[in-house]
Structure 1
């Protein structure tokens, strides 16, 4: 099976989306000149070119694309060729309105933007497959081709009748009988029992709260329906070019795709990452997304999109201060990325994203943005041979699961203030602040390689996952779970005792009597810290140690944090510093050590292969004391005893033999 290594060929890929159809052809040669000047070696082409290639049904206009690929190849720039199926041309919506998606209330989502297709539509699928077939046949042998990029940011949801029919087929395959479906969905509640398959609809807008099990299955179905679209196109290009790797780009921590399942269908796992430059914790967010994507890829991965400056979709779109683009780019490389690409190469002058930055901004080749891009390209060339294909070690796994996330968003939940992604980020932040290397894993995965496993929250856990966690602790591992974990089974059916019995035994809990969510901004006193967001009325069974108890309110004196051997249970969300300390204690007792001790505040240390990356996320210079001699691959200077980092500074260090 082809891999990212086949595309990189021992170098770090650097480039971005290139949309030359927006510009006169005389601009193209200048683009290639500037790409070479910036060290760009990869261009993603054709992402939104369906109407350009097929201006009317069945037409094919490839001449411009032929000339473009030839030009890029002559300039030494490889091509990531996209199937342009994320944005059907207007003629499709006009001639085939049944291809347009519908919302939960039945409204049609019209063309005029992008992603305006129903994933279940046979017409859309047939047209997408025909175009992909012709694209793959024409360019299979082109020497510029290094990778296939299928569609773009799969994110379409649809509740139309065609989707309903597809949903029913999916359900029949999953449950076989209506009796099994009725049992799984708990349709005895509110007289929802189904007597025929034809009665079942997507969970459209309803009078009141909808069936959460039905909504959960619809989320599972939607992820699978989109994956069917992806694999259909993937299989076409793979048939023509079995040696060329295939990818599609995930959106960062997006709920609509089960990325664990999707990653198994990709040769290369890629993601679009857009941290907010005004967020003081954006560096940690970038690190978390890198760790998550590397874990899904089980090795090196690809940044398909990032911004060279500002985006255009926040309420206020601030540019990146000088140096921040470089810092975050090299941070991604430190955490396993072998390819760094942007949306987009040349900033658009028209259209909805003309205020979204490009590698070549409106300021042109003399602008600050392009100057920083050139520096990044030059530095990636310096370290590429040393870093590509190498691993990032981690002794800690954070468990993450889409079914649990989906089930936690149901309408009738105990607290709308609890956000699954924010809990992931809070726990990862505690590890990042402690300088501990981290990965993500599925609850059913083999966890034996990790010294510490963390569960920020998994409201839904299947039997196999629970047995896996119990076996991990019984085998000598250390497990720390957050609140509201193990509450429901795979059908979102609440387990007796407020938590699965196997987990209650593992943590030393007899019963979870009540969940006590906290109001916005409220906290609760615990021994040594204050809890936020949530609390629980736990009755211990006498076998566990109370690490911290609640010290006020209705739960005064009851356990807030329990520990039984290697199993910890945290029934609230400690404030950030306290959570960091609690995680640090569990990590230290499990034998986990930071990458580097004694780092100044704001400095991150990451090991990748034989290299040590030091990244200063602060706006002031910092000095890192280091024993021994090391060579900074970015500057060629030797560091003996210490390294000084400028604002947003980076050093990539290699040991110098004594």
Structure 2
């Protein structure tokens, strides 16, 4: 990733928040904790450029010198996450406009519009200045463009955004007639006469076309990518040769951009990830998100750029992490392919919006349980240095996840409002992981040829190319499972006419007549004894066999789960959202596919393997409350102990075994 032969450990460092007398204390504490990397400069713009083209580099030079002398590497950020107040006052046109047409005021972060030409000029200039001054500095190991691009300013409805949206639509569709067809403007007589009529979709008195809204989502993602490229190119123009990336925001609930389109522009994938304190199984959500991160670029390690040592400040109830939880989360990310574990932030802030966000150094200082755990984690990360650069073992199982498909479901009026379409993906990931399969999570346009079992949950909007690839996978022998609400719309968010599930109807051999969402609290039984909630469908088979049927109500006797043999493979359709009976379905699908578990199946224990050309490492994490015994042989890196067939793993513990039998390691790499 960065050419380092170690895993990265550290976090965001904001020395401008503290007097210079604290800086040397920080350096000493970083040495104590084993910090080898800090992200610097994220919010520093107003302190470096104190007024328009007025520069004060002395303090920044000093802190870079202190870090360099201490041997601490720097991930240097362009400080565009925090445009200075002098810039916003001089050019208020850079500040985003909300959907009601009201411009926000200065005082927050990310106060810029990605389509604003004045912003383009100033943001490129600050990036150029940083690149010119520090681009060749030996302590600067990598570059970090902005921070959480779109995390609060994803959508802007100003006139500059409208103009950019018009240009984007012209490039995508070519003619205004093509725009009218794609966005369905014949409905309600909203036909465009020319591209001059195309504007950002400001709030109206009624709903708006879901195709228009999806197009604006895509445009906004592209605008943010354009901002990343603008700053990256300014750095490269100053001779920066070290890796450049930005921190993506992947969550189960959604993302601000279509990151599958970003991976060719970042030198490595980096993400921020914060778990929800109210989620009793947040380690499962973490595993799903980490699988998505590695699925973006499966031939490269990725990096956890931010997570928290303990509580955050923005959830309804910000409970701290339990003792040991920070360590488990950090090592779990590394197990799933991250080449380090970095935090926001180094020292918990005394003031400002994020004053109650935890830091590596808490408000209470170093005589605390939290600090001692940070120091112990630093030692563990050092013990795992040899894992750097390796990849997670190749899986034969994948789940398809697509950000634009989620946007398409959320835009416009739907049969079941506020239904979390992404929930099925996490359920499948949890179930397959619990059975030892360790599934990948990939975008629809990823190379799917290596997978024998493909799960397609909630792929609401899909293009014909993806349908063709999945159909070919079935013909070659794969088992493909299509979940409810998949294939309903095309890539422009237009309903595919001719029966549900639209794009996949021919592959599956089924014909859906009508969606029958259930009312809140309503349940319906299937013949197998399974219980469905939220979603069911009126379905008939046209060449498929019925695996399970609805057993009561208006759908009694009609298919609920079907299977069709195609070529040497199978195509399954699951029309119901199963409240119970889901585990039986997963077992049946796995058995049909013939895939074999890669990891030991022990309740509460997660296992992941990283591999290089010469070596493999088995990570085992006990998320449960009781000790477990894990089959393993080799050397446990965190203790140095030899493991001769079985490993005793305490509740809450993590072990990393350099495996004795490398086996066919090369075959396990992509």
Same fold, judged at TM 0.5 (above): yes
RMSD, matched Cα: 1.6
CA deviation after TM superposition for structure 1 residue 185, in Å: 1.0
Q: 1:653 aligns with which of 634, 654, 657?
A: 657
Match of residue 131 from structure 2: 136
**Secondary structure at 1:414's aligned position in 2?**
coil
1:476 aligns with 2:477: yes
Structure 1 residues 656 and 403, CA, compared in 2 at 3 Å: closer, same or farther?
closer
Match of residue 117 from structure 1: 112
Structure 2 distance, partners of 1:256, 1:146, is 27
Is the contact between residue 443 and residue 469 of structure 1 (CA under 8 Å) also seen in structure 2?
A: no
Q: 1:211 aligns with which of 209, 212, 219?
A: 209
What stretches of structure 1 of length at least 5 have no aligned partner?
Answer: none
Q: 2:22 aligns with which of 20, 23, 27?
A: 27
Is the contact between residue 488 and residue 499 of structure 1 (CA under 8 Å) also seen in structure 2?
A: no
Deviations 1:190-243 (A, max 9, x none): 010011222222111111111111101000000001111110001111233453
For 1:158-557, what aligned pairs fall within 5 Å after superposition?
158-253=156-251, 254-298=254-298, 299-499=300-500, 503-509=504-510, 511-526=511-526, 527-541=528-542, 543-557=543-557
CA deviation after TM superposition for structure 1 residue 441, in Å: 1.9
Structure 2 distance, partners of 1:387, 1:136, is 27
Match of residue 143 from structure 2: 148
CA deviation after TM superposition for structure 1 residue 408, in Å: 0.4
Q: 1:50 aligns with which of 34, 45, 50?
A: 45
Structure 1 distance, partners of 2:607, 2:224, is 38
CA deviation after TM superposition for structure 1 residue 387, in Å: 4.5
Structure 2 distance, partners of 1:441, 1:252, is 13
After TM superposition, the score normalised by the length of structure 1 is: 0.96
Match of residue 605 from structure 1: 607
Deviations 1:458-484 (A, max 9, x none): 111111111111111111111001012
For 1:67-106, what aligned pairs fall within 5 Å after superposition?
67-106=62-101
Is the contact between residue 8 and residue 36 of structure 2 (CA under 8 Å) also seen in structure 1?
A: yes
Structure 2 distance, partners of 1:278, 1:185, is 39
**Secondary structure at 1:195's aligned position in 2?**
coil
Match of residue 591 from structure 2: 588
Is the contact between residue 18 and residue 43 of structure 1 (CA under 8 Å) also seen in structure 2?
A: yes
Q: 1:623 aligns with which of 619, 628, 634?
A: 628
Structure 1 residues 501 and 98, CA, compared in 2 at 3 Å: closer, same or farther?
closer
CA deviation after TM superposition for structure 1 residue 528, in Å: 3.1
CA deviation after TM superposition for structure 1 residue 176, in Å: 1.4
Match of residue 568 from structure 1: 572
Is the contact between residue 515 and residue 536 of structure 2 (CA under 8 Å) also seen in structure 1?
A: yes
**Secondary structure at 1:238's aligned position in 2?**
helix
Is the contact between residue 255 and residue 406 of structure 1 (CA under 8 Å) also seen in structure 2?
A: no
Structure 2 distance, partners of 1:624, 1:411, is 51
Structure 1 residues 62 and 429, CA, compared in 2 at 3 Å: closer, same or farther?
same
**Secondary structure at 1:408's aligned position in 2?**
helix
CA deviation after TM superposition for structure 1 residue 657, in Å: 6.7
What stretches of structure 2 of length at least 5 have no aligned partner?
Answer: 663-670
Structure 2 distance, partners of 1:394, 1:133, is 42
**Secondary structure at 1:17's aligned position in 2?**
strand
Is the contact between residue 269 and residue 301 of structure 1 (CA under 8 Å) also seen in structure 2?
A: yes
1:637 aligns with 2:641: yes
Q: 2:12 aligns with which of 9, 17, 25?
A: 17
Structure 1 residues 242 and 138, CA, compared in 2 at 3 Å: closer, same or farther?
closer
CA deviation after TM superposition for structure 1 residue 10, in Å: 1.3
Is the contact between residue 310 and residue 320 of structure 2 (CA under 8 Å) also seen in structure 1?
A: yes
Is the contact between residue 537 and residue 555 of structure 1 (CA under 8 Å) also seen in structure 2?
A: yes
More displaced stretch, 518-527 vs 529-538:
518-527
**Secondary structure at 2:581's aligned position in 1?**
helix
**Secondary structure at 2:366's aligned position in 1?**
helix
Structure 1 residues 646 and 278, CA, compared in 2 at 3 Å: closer, same or farther?
farther
Structure 1 distance, partners of 2:246, 2:503, is 39
Structure 2 distance, partners of 1:119, 1:656, is 52
Aligned residues: 647
Is the contact between residue 398 and residue 454 of structure 2 (CA under 8 Å) also seen in structure 1?
A: yes
Structure 2 distance, partners of 1:314, 1:502, is 39
